[in-house]
Amino acid sequence: MAQVECIGHILIFPYPAQGHVNSMLKLAHLLDLANFHITFFVSSTIHARLLALTDVDSGRFSPRFRLKSFPPGIYDGGIDSREGALELYHSLHTIAKPFLKQYIAHNRDSGLPFTCFISDLVLSIALEVSEQCFNLPVYYFRTIGACAFWAFFSLPDLFEAGELPIKENGMESPITKVKGMEDFLRARDLPSWCRYEEDDTARIVYTETRRAVEARALILNTFEDLEGPILSQIRTKCPKVYTIGPLHARLMATLASKSTHSNSLWQEDETCMAWLDSQEPKSVIYVSFGSISVITRQQLMEFWYGLVNSGKKFLWVMRSDLVAGKDVESPIPSELEEGTKANGYIIGWAPQEAVLDHPAVGGFLTHSGWNSTLESIAAGVPMICWPFFADQQTNSRFVGEVWKLGLDMKDVCDRSSVEKLIRELMEKRKGEFLERAENMVKLAKEAISEGGSSYCNFDCLIQDIIKLNESMSEEDTVKCAD
């Protein structure tokens, strides 16, 4: 095949879950607009869902972008439990790793060799494939915030110092071994899966995170004015950190559009937009627990009563697989049905960025996933945080205690607390939260505007990849081991 002129060919590999695919596709879109060739790998299940539900294959990208699927077999069950997460991790190692190795070797002879790899959570796959294939430079794009990245990075120090596992009645104990967070981090602000034991999930997460130092650079979907002090800590270990977020806002600005393209793996219900149009400004609390969290029927009822009893308007995303357990189908009490008819709107999946940007939305009851947090920050919507797992426990602490952009209700789930916090956010302290949220919107906008930190960092990243591409010479094309 004839050599195609190209400024760089990037292999992108997100962890196969909604939040990861979403932010990495946005990164891919920005890199496509910067004229790179992109090959983007997802599991076969996600591949099928993206083709069915989005315009990923029809006009959004240039012909330089290729969406590819791994061979079938990658675990596609729930990853809300450690068993599911481990199964996915191992299936990626057994299926994606050998496949990528072969693919890169084959690609080397195709006339459009890869310049670099941008890998997500499971960095070890990229690093090991790279070691065996041409030392392909690896960038680590971690789709979580700097705060959670740094907490994950510090986990071995916490186990060593005995701050983890948490001792009996120790949830409020101060955590002193995450540098830069000594003044406010408590045991309950660490990922739920490492609270009680140093199990395989904890070990995998901190080992993968610590390998960031081996990557050519770390890329984070955040901005300097939001997480500067923690980024300084990270830079003591990973000197090259590109903060390029909020990515969705940067993409919107680049496209000169009011929205980005949907990367949803569920069918978006657009009818909620007309419902929002009929509501008063800043009157609606939007409720969503993201793409992975699963709650019990009891928790569902507590949130539902809290929302209805607050008397506020609410838009609630109830994914078809949100509630676990056998009594899912039990009838809904009539007072909830009536309260919802009067004040609520329930859908299966929302066009979330557009919802958060809608003038009627004045609050977000969220599970504190990083994308949701950043989308809320960029839209100036204060939050009530009910973190489920992983990075979310740390994100919610930052929202409540550091940025003061909302209220953190982790580990609490009763109807009267839900009602009280909604009233506090949407009524009593509304002005104060909205003012701080507006200030943060300004900083986010500055970051992604020409001359801003995220804008410049993205340019530096582009230049770095272009230089890599230029320096790729014939003598680098050593054979792939085996």
Instruction: Choose the catalytic residue: 32, 80, 120, 189.
Output: 120
Q: What stretch of H or E contains 145?
A: none
Assess contact for 306 and 417: CB atoms under 8 A.
yes
* Residue 317 is a binding residue for ligand UDX (CB under 6 A): yes
Residues 50 and 150: their CA atoms lie apart, in Å, by 31
One residue of 115, 372, 376, 393 binding ligand UDX per CB under 6 A: 372
**The two structure tokens encoding residue 97:** 């790793």
Name which of 71, 76, 60 is nearest 28 in CA terms.
Answer: 60
One residue of 163, 224, 227, 391 binding ligand UDX per CB under 6 A: 391
| Strand ranges (E), 221-271 | 241-243
Determine whether 421 is exposed, middle or buried from the number of CB atoms within 10 Å of its CB (0-12, 13-18, 19+). Answer: buried
Residue facing ligand UDX at closest CB distance: 369
One residue of 208, 353, 408, 464 binding ligand UDX per CB under 6 A: 353
* Residue 291 is a binding residue for ligand UDX (CB under 6 A): yes
130-159 mask for ligand UDX (x: CB under 6 A)?
-------------xx---------------
One residue of 370, 398, 455, 458 binding ligand UDX per CB under 6 A: 370
Q: Which is nearer to ligand UDX, 43 or 371 (CB)?
A: 371
Is 106 a known active-site residue? no
Q: Using the 8-state DSSP alphabet, how is residue 112 labeled?
A: -
Q: Using the 8-state DSSP alphabet, how is residue 55 labeled?
A: S
**R_g over Cα of the chain:** 22
Task: Identify which range of 212-220, 286-294, 330-338, 420-428 contacts ligand UDX by CB under 6 A.
Answer: 286-294
Name which of 219, 39, 226, 87 is nearest 141 in CA terms.
Answer: 219
* Residue 18 is a binding residue for ligand UDX (CB under 6 A): yes
* Residue 376 is a binding residue for ligand UDX (CB under 6 A): no
Q: 170 — phi, psi (to 5°)? A: -105, 15
Least distance in angstroms from the C-beta of 220 to ligand UDX: 11
Q: Which is nearer to ligand UDX, 65 or 289 (CB)?
A: 289
User: Which sign, positive or negative, has the C-alpha torsion 421, 422, 427, 433?
Assistant: positive
Of 87-106, binders to ligand UDX (CB under 6 A) are none
One residue of 14, 16, 19, 113 binding ligand UDX per CB under 6 A: 19
Name which of 263, 304, 314, 231 is nearest 18 in CA terms.
Answer: 263
* Residue 363 is a binding residue for ligand UDX (CB under 6 A): no
Q: How many residues form the binding site for ligand UDX (CB under 6 A)?
A: 26
Assess contact for 155 and 194: CB atoms under 8 A.
yes
* Residue 369 is a binding residue for ligand UDX (CB under 6 A): yes
Is 120 a known active-site residue? yes
| Amino acid symbol at 473 | S
Least distance in angstroms from the C-beta of 352 to ligand UDX: 3
* Residue 290 is a binding residue for ligand UDX (CB under 6 A): yes
Angle of the 247-255 helix axis to the 453-471 helix axis, nearest 10:
80
For 460, what's the count of Cα atoms within 13 Å in the CB-facing half-sphere? 15
Residues 351 and 315: their CA atoms lie apart, in Å, by 12
DSSP string across 147-160: HHHHHHHHHHHHHH
Q: Which is nearer to ligand UDX, 17 or 92 (CB)?
A: 17
* Residue 406 is a binding residue for ligand UDX (CB under 6 A): no
Q: Which is nearer to ligand UDX, 255 or 466 (CB)?
A: 255
* Residue 375 is a binding residue for ligand UDX (CB under 6 A): yes
Task: Identify which range of 51-59, 203-211, 366-374, 464-472 contacts ligand UDX by CB under 6 A.
Answer: 366-374
Task: Identify which range of 346-354, 416-424, 433-441, 447-455 contacts ligand UDX by CB under 6 A.
Answer: 346-354
* Residue 352 is a binding residue for ligand UDX (CB under 6 A): yes
Q: Which is nearer to ligand UDX, 272 or 472 (CB)?
A: 272
In angstroms, how far is CA 219 from the centroid of its own chain? 13
* Residue 29 is a binding residue for ligand UDX (CB under 6 A): no
Spatial neighbors of 375 by CB under 8 A, at least 6 apart, are 246, 248, 352, 353, 356
DSSP string across 280-349: PTT-EEEEE-TTT--EEHHHHHHHHHHHHHHT-EEEEE--TTSEESTTTTSPPPHHHHHHHHHHEEEESS
Task: Identify which range of 203-211, 288-296, 376-384, 415-423 contacts ligand UDX by CB under 6 A.
Answer: 288-296
| Strand ranges (E), 325-376 | 344-347, 361-366
Q: Which is nearer to ligand UDX, 114 or 389 (CB)?
A: 389
Q: What are the catalytic residues?
A: 20, 120
Residues of this chain that bind ligand UDX (CB under 6 A): 17-20, 22, 143-144, 264, 288, 290-293, 317, 349-350, 352-353, 369-372, 375, 390-392
